[in-house]
Amino acid sequence: MRRRERKRLARSLALLAACICLPIWIVKGCIIATQNGDSSNEEESSSGGVFSPGPTVEVNDGGEGFSLPLEEYLVGVVAAEMPASYHAEALKAQAVAARTYTCRKLQNGGCKHGGDICTDSGCCQAYTPPEELSETKRAAIEAAVYGTAGEVAVYGGEPIEAVFHSTAGGYTEDSENAFVTALPYLRSVKSDETDAPRYASAQTMTNSEFCARVQSAFGVRLSDPARETAVLSRYASGRVESLRLGGTTVTGKEFRSAFSLDSTNFSFEFGNGAVTISTKGFGHGVGLSQTGAQMMAEEGSDYREILSYYYTGISLEKYW
Ligand SMILES: [Zn+2]
């Protein structure tokens, strides 16, 4: 009986020590990271460079997974999702979007594959271990993450579904046209990133190549692509809603996937036995455009203006 009590006491003391020491160690770690990467950030120096590292996140990376404070996790996410060479304000917008996305996951029970969030960009958010980054890149990203620490984009009192994409190519898209749900803060806005590398692209193939791909993807046999292919409807953003291939109607999304196009904003040109498919933008087009964020930052907007532009009607709240 006494031995058991002693054991219990020892366990309690160990737990108490962990509760006191761990937060000190984590906060200390963040201060060091801040000093390394954020010499130009006035906001942070004015607040003394001390901030909460946020809740612990269980990251599912397909293997055993790992857990770490949310702010530290975000450094790896921003590293994987946006070039570190982007403008500081664009990186901050990306950091807030990634933080918001993570908070929503935490609130909604985590990733369907286990853990709070996974490293599959097709499911949750990509992740590059910060130790794999050069010192310069890591410093730029840490400045963006720790310079916005705790800030979350909120609508109706909840973290928003902070989706983002590479390049809108003219206009972003209403959420219901790309996904299922109409969300009031995911509305189409103008985003003409004409200097972005994937603003526009085109691929040309012979008529027979085009017919073969249509047949393998949709089981439709075409003999004259120019006569048998037609865009039936477009959304206001310019993206294709549906098109006709012979006697079959397919969605713009299905066609994009079958032809590995950059976006669903595509058009056709026929001639000389060939088909040219031109696309505008890169990605699903909903929410924050990353190259749009870069463009706005270069034109003088800060991350708050960028986020408010791409996420209609949101406000930024400090969660920790
Ligand atoms: Zn996931």
Cα of 18 from ligand 1 centre, angstroms: 30
Question: Is the dihedral angle over the CA atoms 122, 205, 193, 235 positive or is it negative?
Answer: negative
Q: What is the mean pLDDT of the chain?
A: 88
Choose between 16 and 34: higher pLDDT: 16
Cα of 1 from ligand 1 centre, angstroms: 47
pLDDT of residue 102: 97
Of the pLDDT bands very low, low, confident and very high (cuts 50, 70, 90), residue 19 is very low
- Of 6-20, 141-155, 221-235, 285-299, the least confident: 6-20
Cα of 115 from ligand 1 centre, angstroms: 8
* Average pLDDT for 53-60: 95
Question: Is the dihedral angle over the CA atoms 251, 253, 258, 261 positive or is it negative?
Answer: positive
Cα of 286 from ligand 1 centre, angstroms: 19
Cα of 119 from ligand 1 centre, angstroms: 7
Query: Which of 292, 132, 300, 159 lies closest to 141, judged by CA?
Result: 132
* Average pLDDT for 149-167: 97
pLDDT of residue 16: 40
pLDDT of residue 49: 59
Cα of 159 from ligand 1 centre, angstroms: 17
The answer to whether residue 229 scores a pLDDT higher than 80 is yes
Q: What whole-number distance in Å separates Cα of residue 306 and Cα of residue 287? A: 11
Cα of 74 from ligand 1 centre, angstroms: 15
Of the pLDDT bands very low, low, confident and very high (cuts 50, 70, 90), residue 8 is low
* Average pLDDT for 140-165: 97
User: How far, CA to CA in Å, does 142 sit from each of 9, 92, 134, 152?
Assistant: 40, 10, 12, 17
Strands across the sheet containing 158-159: 158-159, 151-155, 315-318
Cα of 60 from ligand 1 centre, angstroms: 8
